[in-house]
Amino acid sequence: MAVKFIDDIDVSGKTVFVRADFNVPLDDSGSITNDNRIKATIPTLKHILDNGGAIIAASHLGRPKGKRVPEMSLAPVAKRLGELLGKEIQFVDDCISDEAIEKGKALKPGEVLLLENLRFYGEETKNDEAFARKLGAAADVFISDAFAVSHRAHASVEAITRVVPVCAAGFLMKKEIQNFENAMNDPRRPLVAVVGGAKVSGKLEVLENLVQKVDAVLIGGGMAFTFLKAQGKEVGKSLVEEDLIGTAKTVLQKAADKGIKFVLPNDCVVAAELKGGIPTQTVSIDAIPADSMGLDIGPQSVEAFAGIISDARTIVWNGPMGVFEVDEFSKGTFEVADLIAKSDAMSVVGGGDSVSALKQSGNQDKVTFVSTAGGAFMELMEGKTLPGIAALDS
């Protein structure tokens, strides 16, 4: 796919529409509690300003479902954006009004206009081209820097590329695309996928795609027990998706046919129920008590995973190894995070729980790349073409 990037185009004297991801968390007073998503787009915005362009920035915030919800206004973002860029940010309380369009057309090089929440209009999520024409009415260039919504065919993501003459990806989008391409489509081998989480149903397409591409798959989390059940193991009260046991057998067979290592836990931490402060024990997978459930991988599993991770040249991780939010069931996930961080492999981590676990383990800055997205990252792992990236294909 031949995607243009922001450093491939001339923005001097141009008005640039930047689709950013400013979907930041707000507290009850309307204050931003985490500004990482704003900071992530600053390199793209500074590049445009430093090279003589003007910016119309746009984003969604929350799920207003096509209605104006004052608590989901981007006004707090305008304030923080101004602090980070060191300049005044013009803010307009609409995104397609005559005022918004005229302010966009009046921008001078070095100026920034932030539009109000795109999702105050239902047309945004319907990928309405007339809505996109109004968004892009003042723009010479469209820059997509919101990888987190690139799996959505929305007006500010996909339709707008048909109405603005020059389109490209920003620096954040560039990093996401290139790191994933390097990891999955042109990897140094062995390529190892570490996959966890609660359910097979949420990762089925991911696994079916992975067994076509990787050298080894390491499985943890609740989803492991459906595969273990498919192998005829008794797993006590552990989470099992009975309707997917047949599918799990098929995935296991595909991996075997291709000679891919498909590694399941050989021990686990069990308890009578999922809550903190109760007795736990570590048992072999073949000795899970009938009245207990597996809630984390055990030390023998970590050791088995360690041997494969240490030999890997590329690692992709999505999903925790246990219920890491509860101290008693966090060790396996954090130890795997440590192993990935200490490896010599190129390592790409994506998905909200994986990123959260990485941060809690203190390893966020010790891996090659941490994706900013959940759903978009998952769909790439499923082998899907994302509409927000396909639309940039030059």
Catalytic residues: 37, 199, 352, 375
- Helices 171-180/36-50 angle, 10° precision: 110
Strands (E), 103-249: 112-115, 141-144, 166-169, 191-195, 216-219
Question: How far, in Å, are 193, 220, 331 from residue 369 at the CA level?
Answer: 15, 21, 23
Pair of tokens at residue 350 = 């994506």
CA separation for the pair 309, 140 (Å, rounded): 47
Residue 281: in which H helix or E strand, if any? strand 281-284
Q: Residue type for 234, please?
A: E
Question: How far, in Å, are 222, 226, 292, 295, 365 from residue 236 at the CA level?
Answer: 12, 12, 6, 12, 38
Buried b (16+ CB within 10 A) or exposed e, 7-24: eebebeebbbbbbbbbbb
CA separation for the pair 356, 324 (Å, rounded): 10
Q: Residue type for 108, please?
A: K
